[in-house]
Amino acid sequence: MKKKTILVTNDDGVTAPGLKALVSVAKEFGKVYVVAPDSPQSGQGHAITLNKPLRLKKVDIFKKMKNVEAYKCSGTPADCVKLGKHVLLKNKKVDLCVSGINHGSNLAINIIYSGTMSAAMEASIEGIDSIGFSLTDFSWEADFEPSKKYVRKIIKNVLKNGLPNCKLLNVNIPAISKKKIKGIKVCHQADSHWIEKFQEGKDPVGRPYFWLTGQFVNNDKNPNTDVNAVEKGYVSVVPSMHDLTKYEAIEPMKFLEK
């Protein structure tokens, strides 16, 4: 396979072990350019920075790896991709963008809040084939070794066959041992939500505060969901998109035109 140009980013920041794991696999396929946030950006959704300038600075975090050039960026994950494509790689064709490996699941509704997936989506909007990878373990010490086999397999397959009918994949890997992972399932986003709770308290000067917490609830009984795949020990792959139109509602909503 011809050497590819691969843009790598994440939302946990340039020092995250999950990013290192992803870079270590991506570099097997060509030249890797890392543009990652200089601080953690979880929950940033598709935020972009409009009202202030961004910084982009070369870092030597990956200097022991060949074919890797890395930068930290002061912006959001989506900003990283924009800067990567339009400043750093202005005159280069980018073959693939990979984002992650996220420390924590981006299953189901979490794609909406995810900086990891918004970075991957940003690349797909720009016309770049793109994949977001997440491991269902939030800890900084999460074991990314079992993930690497599947990250490698999926990147290889996508570079070879492309992404028919889509530009973006949301991949979630169960945090279990390599032996226990049963394979890959291509499936759809589970219909789910969070039951929100706010921890309420008073700050040191007695003013009230509210701190978001909550519980994830899967409402989707369909077996072909990402949540179900991961629960059963599979790596879930959801072909995704940025067209949010609910086409089935266009005709029924025509009463608004009258």
User: Which pair of structure tokens corresponds to residue 134?
Assistant: 């997440």
**101 within 8 A of 147, measured Cβ to Cβ:** yes
> How many angstroms separate the CA atoms of 257 and 5, rounded?
48
> How many angstroms separate the CA atoms of 16 and 8, rounded?
13
Which C-beta is closer to its own copies: that of 91 or that of 165?
165
**37 within 8 A of 14, measured Cβ to Cβ:** yes
In this structure, is the dihedral angle defined by the CA atoms of residues 46, 100, 159 and 183, taken in order, positive or negative?
Answer: negative
Which C-beta is closer to its own copies: that of 28 or that of 209?
209
User: Which pair of structure tokens corresponds to residue 80?
Assistant: 């990283």
Which C-beta is closer to its own copies: that of 104 or that of 146?
104
**In 3D, which of 75, 86, 88, 11 has the Cα closest to residue 48?**
75
**150 within 8 A of 118, measured Cβ to Cβ:** no
Instruction: State the minimum distance, in angstroms, from the CB of residue 6 to its own copies.
Output: 18
Which C-beta is closer to its own copies: that of 21 or that of 81?
81
Instruction: State the minimum distance, in angstroms, from the CB of residue 67 to its own copies.
Output: 25
Instruction: State the minimum distance, in angstroms, from the CB of residue 206 to its own copies.
Output: 13
Which C-beta is closer to its own copies: that of 212 or that of 233?
212
Instruction: State the minimum distance, in angstroms, from the CB of residue 57 to its own copies.
Output: 9
Instruction: State the minimum distance, in angstroms, from the CB of residue 211 to its own copies.
Output: 4
Which C-beta is closer to its own copies: that of 24 or that of 192?
192
Q: What angle do CA 30, 32, 38 make, to 5 degrees?
A: 170
Give the SS3 label for residue 225. strand
147 phi and psi, to 5 degrees? -65, -35
Instruction: State the minimum distance, in angstroms, from the CB of residue 65 to its own copies.
Output: 25
